[in-house]
Amino acid sequence: MEKIGLVLEGGASRGVFTAGVLDYWMEQGVTFPYVVGVSAGACNAADLVSKQIGRTRNTMIHKDKKYEYMGLRTFFKTRQLMDMDLIFRTFPEEYFPFDYDTYFASETEVEYGCTDCHTGRPVFLSEKQDKDRLMDILRASCAMPGAVRPVLVDGKPYVDGGLSDSIPVKRAFEMGCDKVVVIQTRGRNFRMKPSVPQNSLQGHTKNILPLAKTCAAVPCATTKIWHISVGWNRQAKCWPFAPACRK
């Protein structure tokens, strides 16, 4: 029998599109033996494996101010643009309980893409026993430099996995998948354009200098942000599901 893997791209609030697709698949009983998610896609993957229909949507779309995890109030409170403690501690433990029992009992192999702060390379982490470590991994996969601080997992600092491998199709094949289903959060015709010519390092460095300063704890941030559009376009040929829009 063929091993079919599922790859979930990130994209912040665009992850609501992925949530809708996965909610429908869960209602239909569709499962995958292997799932890998990056950034917002990591949160989608966790809720898929825990079989919690609607949870991702509910954590992202709400009107009650106590659920707000972005904005000026959050910045003044946490000195970060996102309240990561609210998302990865209060939400799963109180407001939107995460079903750890179902998640840990699942036979689905699931990994989350993070970026190693020291090497700038993608690292794929998983956890099927420790609640706190699982949430730390999810937090690390979503830790966008300049918005939030790097996250320590097993004593090593990581940031958003989308910086190093935003659509980890290659990883899915390395894990033995014969075929891969990819859910993108961009339109089918979208191709990311480099902000500067690839051979213009000086111009690029000038453009991202403010961001580089805010994430000085991430030595490879400048290089990885520069190359992110190249990696995205290289893997964007492998998707069957994407929003029906032109941009």
**Catalytic annotation, residues:** 39, 160
C-alpha dist (Å) from residue 161 to 40, 137, 164: 10, 10, 6
Scan for tokens 């390395």, then name that residue.
Answer: 174
